[in-house]
Amino acid sequence: MKKYVLLVLVLCLLSGCQNSSSKVITFPFPDVWRNQYKVSVLLDPSQHTYQSKIELTLKNTSWDVWDKIVLRDYPSQFKDEKDGGLSLIQNVMTSDKDVLAYLRLDDPTIVEVMLAAPLAPGEIITISMDYQAYVPELNARFGYVENKADAIDFYLGNSLPILAVYENGQWVCEPYFSDGECFYSETADYLVTVTVPNNFTVIGTGDKLNTVNGENQKTIEYTASSVRDYALVIGNDYQCVSQMEDGILYNSYYHSANQNIGIGSLITLINETKALNKQLGEYPYQTMNTVETYMDMQGMEYPQLIMIAEYMHGNESTIRHELVHQWFYNIVGNNGYQVAWLDESIATYLAEKSLSEHIGRIDQSYNEYPDENSYVNAMYFCGGAMYTRLANRFGKDQLIAILQDYLLTYAYSQAATKDLLGMLIRGLGEESLEIFKDYFDETTLTEASTQ
């Protein structure tokens, strides 16, 4: 037996001992249909607007015939703010030059485009349009900020109209709110060019392909695959520090006065990503950006790009929280309005230490909580505490293994409460219901337990 043990030891030393605890989890982009967006963006900083030409190629992946499609146009949410306005949508047409009518609903972020002919299941259509958005003066995830003389930042989260999710026979159109995430989308591919004056820096979702410099303007081209949204930050006071590690280009963008914080944020970004690669599975994209902003919210996640408030930039737990969303929100999607616990609670647990005292339901939609404080308490503090209690009771390794399984099962798709809760109950056993009953109602638990 000793020889055998010795042989195993030698083999382990030679091979790096690839046991189950050191297995590398990856999330390769699946070879399936994804909708494609080809977009050009031209920013006019003095008018606080940008004009786009958008070409969307989409497939009816449902079993129903579509006579319309629905776009979510979040920039129009800010129509009543200073410099805001309803986005201008013109020349909506198919690749066969059929002109399409569109209807903006009472919720200005919902735009229905009537199709010239019904789109049968499996059919593909390309729709193009001219689009102009108005950026409000707001220190928010969509807005511009002039923080000092001659300096301006544009935060363009959810910058482009994207296709709503069609689920259970209807288009999902949740209302907008600013206290958290209300977004829901499928992964898609983007090819985006952004044109700005030469003195502006552009930070976008995706990998930078090239930059073409003109006399007064420059155009930067990005490609992004399997991402849930498209965000941009553009400003004329940004500097960048970058590092390539394990095939990923990490960028930290900071305002010119904050170089030390920018460098510290880069180090944090790299270290936290490496830690999450080991814990959750490898970050599948080639570029990851952290951007210092003057937003009032601490941080905001977008694919391959996190916006961090200046007062939190460099803060490890804030950067880690927004980074976790690259896995829980971007790789596995969920309806941010209805079931925010699927991404917010785990992001809080993995970024915060020792939350365990909070108890309360986390399986409700935004409108079911009486006020903002109750909602934030539920999604972040109660949800974070639930995971802490589960880890204390059943072991963190077992909990993380279930979360890895969840990520692998639903990668680049969308999950619901019963999916994650069902996996947790099955993985941790009946005893876990003692903890879950403090956070979910009986119907939800029964549905998750019996699926």
* Measured CA distances, 302 to 199, 232, 307 (Å): 24, 9, 8
Span 9-68, contacts to Zn ion by CB under 5 A? none
Q: What span, in angstroms and rounded, lies between the C-alpha atoms of 424 and 403? A: 8
Kindly tell me which of 135 and 347 has the beta carbon lying closer to Zn ion.
Answer: 347
* Range in contact with Zn ion (rule: CB under 5 A) among 204-212, 310-318, 342-350, 367-375: 342-350
The separation between CA 364 and the C-alpha centre of its own chain, rounded to angstroms, equals: 21
Residue 291 contacts residue 308 (beta carbons within 8 Å): yes
Q: How far is the CB of 290 from Zn ion (least distance, A)?
A: 14
Nearest residue by C-beta to Zn ion? 347
Distance, in Å, from the CA atom of 78 to the CA atom of 109, rounded to the nearest integer, reads: 9
User: CB of residue 218 vs Zn ion: minimum separation in angstroms?
Assistant: 33
Piece of the chain touching Zn ion by CB under 5 A; list 227-235, 340-348, 355-363, 396-404: 340-348
Residue 340 or 421 with smaller CB distance to Zn ion:
340
Cβ proximity to Zn ion: between 225 and 265 the closer is 265
CB–CB of 348/323 below 8 Å? no
Between CA 252 and CA 223 the distance in angstroms is 19
- The rounded Cα 251 to chain-centroid distance in angstroms is 17
Which stretch in 100-108, 113-121, 230-238, 339-347 sits in contact with Zn ion by CB under 5 A?
Answer: 339-347
Of 43, 96, 100, the residue nearest 69 (C-alpha): 100
Retrieve residue 331's tokens. 């790789």
Find the shortest distance in angstroms from Cβ 27 to Zn ion: 20
Smallest distance from Zn ion to CB 301, Å: 6
For Zn ion (CB under 5 A), the number of binding residues is 2
Pick 84 or 180: Cβ nearer Zn ion: 180
Shortest spacing between CB 347 and Zn ion, in angstroms: 5
Q: Which residues contact 420 (CB under 8 A, 6 or more apart)?
A: 342, 406
Name which of 110 and 379 has its Cβ closer to Zn ion.
379
Q: Contact region for Zn ion (CB under 5 A) — 49-57, 84-92, 341-349, 422-430?
A: 341-349
Choose between 344 and 363: whose C-beta lies nearer to Zn ion. Answer: 344
CA distance linking residue 34 with residue 127, whole number of Å:
15
Shortest distance (Å) from residue 321 CB to Zn ion: 6
- On whether the CB atoms of residues 156 and 234 are closer than 8 A, the answer is yes
- Residues 310/294, Cβ–Cβ less than 8 Å: yes
Only segment of 103-111, 153-161, 221-229, 347-355 that touches Zn ion (CB under 5 A): 347-355
User: Quick check: 347 binds Zn ion (CB under 5 A)?
Assistant: yes
* β partners of residue 222: 192, 208
- Region binding Zn ion by CB under 5 A among candidate stretches 125-133, 198-206, 336-344, 437-445: 336-344
CA 205 – CA 234 distance, rounded (Å): 12
Q: How far is the CB of 387 from Zn ion (least distance, A)?
A: 14
**289-318 binders of Zn ion (CB under 5 A):** none
| Residue whose CB is less far from Zn ion, 255 or 320 | 320
HSE, side-chain direction, 13 A CA sphere, residue 95 = 7
Shortest spacing between CB 243 and Zn ion, in angstroms: 25
Tokens of 249: 């280009």
* Interface ranges with Zn ion (CB under 5 A): 344, 347
